Structure 1
Amino acid sequence: MSDVKKTPKLRFKGFTDDWEQRKLSDIADVYDGTHQTPNYKNAGIMFLSVENIKTLKSEKYISEQDFKNNFKISPEKGDVLMTRIGDVGTANVVESNEPIAFYVSLALLKTRSIDSYFLCSSIESPYLQSNIRKRTLITAIPQKINKDEIGKVDINVPDKREQVSIGTLFKTLNKAITLQQRKLAKLNKLKKALLQKIFADKNNPQPLLRLKGFGGDWKQRKLGDLLTLINGRAYSQDELLEAGKYKVLRVGNFYTNDTWFYSNLELDDKYYANNGDLLYTWSATFGPHIWQGGKVIYHYHIWKIILSEGLQKLFTVQLLNKDKSEILANKNGSTMVHVTKRGMEQKSVLIPSSDEQKFIGSLLTKVDKAITLQQRKIDKLQSLKKSLLQNIFVN
């Protein structure tokens, strides 16, 4: 017998008892969804699969007869649905007694002696994720956990009052995250609409949305006549140092790669980027950026953009972002986009007056900043949730 106390690192005041290790089958009955591919309808009984687990909402429906024929059981309010095929181990609590049909990729956990929200959040904890992983057939394509194996997963459980406190905390936190995500979605929708309406195009030389005081057609120009693209320097592997005078800015450093290489080379001024310079990554992940990370040497897969007097910087960033959206929308299934220097220089664009450029650039930059701030709010909430999942459950 082990004398190790089963208590979490972080706990609500007033709770001191040990948690008890149980099997999921001790606290919930586990059911599969249908193996049948249903005939979808425009209305009827809502049909859920893996892609619906976050919202438990779907635009797919089946008939009541199909439901009666293929479903022996339906989730009820307070039950938990969990993905068991593909993205294994994501869960959500059913909050309605409306009949729901669900595919075999989901498992239904009909709770008996456990708080639903505690169970749902516990499934997301590192301890349960690890236990689910141990029973998952990771060599299967797609990977899956069999229904009977779900019931064998170990779970640590406190008394009911502590379950409710923890479940309520995560219910509140998840709702806050969802609310902030909805706000972000609205901002992104606003940005998309503005990009569509605030720019002129070849079919409409005047934009659909315009500030009072601006008029007339936008002028068609080639980008190559308005800006100069300067390639960065190509490096051999032995030229990239672990320490040195200058950071070497590569494409990945704009996105997910925090690893830096360095160089002691002294180069022409054109090969350095400084704060406020307009750069463009053109290989793999592509798009414009205003650099704010201090003096660096930028890599060959990055252009520094020198603008003529006819282009405003903030407007150009938005113009290039709009162009990026159009490229992605028309890539026809290609997995990688490669933007060429000649192709960029030969692009025909429509350009308004300098004053209208300033207005458009300023407006869309404010929207971008709002989007960034909103994403940071979500990131902080997600970080808080991750910390709680690691510390408020027994591992």
Structure 2
Amino acid sequence: MGKKLQPKLRFRGFTDAWEQRKLGDILSYEQPYEYIVSSDDYSPVARTPVLTAGKTLILGYTNEADGVKAATKDSPVIIFDDFTASSHIIDYSFKVKSSAMKILSLRDSENDLYCIYYALTRIIRPSASHERQWISKYARATVTVPSKDEQQVIGDFLRKLDRLIAAEKRKLDLWKKKKTALLRQIFEQKLRFKGYSDFWEQHKLGSLGNSYSGLSGKNKADFGHGLASYITYMNVFQNSIADIDGNGQIEIDSKQHAVQYGDALFTISSEKPEEVGMSSVWLGNQKNVYLNSFCFGYRQNGAFDALYLAYMLRSEAVRSQMRMLAQGISRFNISQHKVMDINVTIPSISEQQKIGSFCRGLDQLISAEMKKIDLLMLKKKALLQQMFV
């Protein structure tokens, strides 16, 4: 006799063997043509969501009353991107943006759609082909499923986990919005710490320090080895405070400018004008740390608290000036010398320290929330591996 098909992790009370089924035998598909929205003139006060099966999911809302796909909590459906195989389970009525998807539903009442959805997501793999993924691949794929009663228990459990993850993501989004609002008020001097009322001075950035260039005279063979390190473009672009561990390797070269604690780093170019001149401040004390050739550095003269500098340079007051300096058509660049002419505001050092510490605290709260979400996602991934065959 063959080995009994069952997962490593099961709920108490279930012992029957699982059976193999083709997804196409469990799920039927519907083409979305009659549900495609006529206009993408969306309104925030409209009632019907317009969906895509990609990561964005909800593109906007429409008041178009015809061609609305009905779905409810008791009768949900799966939307399946026919090119990427990205999918979502939907339990509310909707319209769609394009025909590049399938709408999947159960063929009969002998299965639980949520459990089947999780079984589907577990086997989805990225594909570089342009063929229609459902008919050519996933409808023919085999999954192993239990009885409907066990399916419902599995589906309910994983739905609760997904709701928990969604709640944490909403909390993260609220923290990010709160940070944006608070920083705007702080750097517009509408919100100040108790005991501070002195006027903030305004200066040209270049009057308070000097700029320097990134790596020069290097080729591809110079990277990936050596006892020195260089701060990458993405490290600068993504972080107000550079990630000390986010560096590449390179050989020690005394001819290069070494980055020091408190230096501000700026990206030089980007595909979008609003993304040029993104800044980051280095808080490391390591020796022989250089800057990539697509960025330039700025060494201040002591006028700034390093944390204050990090958040001030990402404030809307500074970013709006950076956007004005962007030059280009298909790719936008910014002049190192012109960045030195931007206006910056400077309170007293003690107020700077208060602001920098407060902003860093917000970032730490956001980072902790992101780590919590990452752990929940890892837990879900592990559970999917153990709860299905």
Q: Tell me if 1:194 matches 2:182.
A: yes
Q: Secondary structure at the match of 2:339?
A: helix
Q: Tell me if 1:272 matches 2:267.
A: no
Q: What CA distance in whole angstroms lies between the structure 2 residues aligned with 1:52 and 1:61?
A: 22
Counterpart residue number, 2:274: none
CA, structure 1 residues 294+166, in 2 after alignment: closer, same or farther (shift >3 Å)?
farther
Deviation at 1:236, TM superposition (A): 2.1
Counterpart residue number, 1:246: 228
Q: Which residue of the other structure, out of 223, 227, 237, is the alignment partner of 2:205?
A: 223
Counterpart residue number, 2:280: 288
Q: What CA distance in whole angstroms lies between the structure 2 residues aligned with 1:326 and 1:171?
A: 43
Q: What CA distance in whole angstroms lies between the structure 1 residues aligned with 2:336 and 2:159?
A: 50
How far does the alpha carbon of each residue in 1:179-201 deviate from its partner, in whole angstroms, 9 at most, with x for none?
1111111111112112322113x
Counterpart residue number, 2:313: 320
Q: What CA distance in whole angstroms lies between the structure 1 residues aligned with 2:341 and 2:322?
A: 18
Counterpart residue number, 1:60: 62
Identity %: 23
Of 285-294 and 227-236, deviating more is: 285-294
Deviation at 1:225, TM superposition (A): 0.8
Q: Which amino acid aligns with 1:346?
A: D
The two structures, once aligned, show a CA RMSD in angstroms of 3.7
Q: Tell me if 1:175 matches 2:163.
A: yes
CA, structure 1 residues 47+364, in 2 after alignment: closer, same or farther (shift >3 Å)?
closer
Q: Is the 8 A contact 2:229 2:251 kept in 1?
A: yes
Q: Which amino acid aligns with 1:30?
A: Y
Q: Is the 8 A contact 1:17 1:158 kept in 2?
A: yes
Deviation at 1:10, TM superposition (A): 4.2
Counterpart residue number, 1:46: 48
**Residue correspondences, number:** 366
CA, structure 1 residues 178+54, in 2 after alignment: closer, same or farther (shift >3 Å)?
farther
Counterpart residue number, 2:80: 83
Q: Secondary structure at the match of 1:272?
A: coil
Q: TM-score, normalised by structure 2?
A: 0.78
Q: Is the 8 A contact 1:230 1:303 kept in 2?
A: yes
Q: Is the 8 A contact 2:229 2:247 kept in 1?
A: no
Q: What CA distance in whole angstroms lies between the structure 2 residues aligned with 1:347 and 1:372?
A: 30
Q: Which amino acid aligns with 1:27?
A: I
Counterpart residue number, 1:19: 18
Q: Is the 8 A contact 2:232 2:247 kept in 1?
A: no
Q: Secondary structure at the match of 2:192?
A: coil
Q: Is the 8 A contact 2:115 2:152 kept in 1?
A: yes
Q: Is the 8 A contact 2:53 2:79 kept in 1?
A: no
Q: Tell me if 1:160 matches 2:148.
A: yes
Deviation at 1:223, TM superposition (A): 0.2
Q: Is the 8 A contact 1:50 1:87 kept in 2?
A: no
Q: Secondary structure at the match of 1:236?
A: coil
Q: Is the 8 A contact 1:31 1:147 kept in 2?
A: no
Q: Is the 8 A contact 2:231 2:247 kept in 1?
A: no
CA, structure 1 residues 74+49, in 2 after alignment: closer, same or farther (shift >3 Å)?
same
Q: Which amino acid aligns with 1:114?
A: N
Q: Is the 8 A contact 1:21 1:157 kept in 2?
A: yes
Counterpart residue number, 2:338: 343
Q: What CA distance in whole angstroms lies between the structure 1 residues aligned with 2:307 and 2:250?
A: 30
Q: TM-score, normalised by structure 1?
A: 0.77
Q: Tell me if 1:236 matches 2:230.
A: no
Q: What CA distance in whole angstroms lies between the structure 2 residues aligned with 1:74 and 1:328?
A: 47
Deviation at 1:46, TM superposition (A): 1.4
Deviation at 1:122, TM superposition (A): 1.7
Q: Which amino acid aligns with 2:202?
A: Q
Q: Structure 2 matches for 1:139-154, cutoff 5 A?
A: 139=130, 144-145=132-133, 151-154=139-142
Q: Which amino acid aligns with 2:185?
A: K
Q: Is the 8 A contact 1:273 1:291 kept in 2?
A: no
Q: Which residue of the other structure, out of 295, 298, 305, is the alignment partner of 1:305?
A: 298
Deviation at 1:91, TM superposition (A): 1.7
Deviation at 1:175, TM superposition (A): 1.1
Q: What CA distance in whole angstroms lies between the structure 1 residues aligned with 2:340 and 2:55?
A: 45
CA, structure 1 residues 293+353, in 2 after alignment: closer, same or farther (shift >3 Å)?
closer
Q: Tell me if 1:33 matches 2:19.
A: no
Q: Which residue of the other structure, out of 244, 250, 253, is the alignment partner of 1:262?
A: 250
CA, structure 1 residues 333+311, in 2 after alignment: closer, same or farther (shift >3 Å)?
same
CA, structure 1 residues 260+219, in 2 after alignment: closer, same or farther (shift >3 Å)?
closer
Q: Is the 8 A contact 1:239 1:263 kept in 2?
A: no
Q: Which amino acid aligns with 1:223?
A: L
How far does the alpha carbon of each residue in 1:42-80 deviate from its partner, in whole angstroms, 9 at most, with x for none?
6776143206877669522312xx2xxx46x62232422
CA, structure 1 residues 224+253, in 2 after alignment: closer, same or farther (shift >3 Å)?
closer
Q: What CA distance in whole angstroms lies between the structure 2 residues aligned with 1:277 and 1:226?
A: 13
Deviation at 1:393, TM superposition (A): 2.3
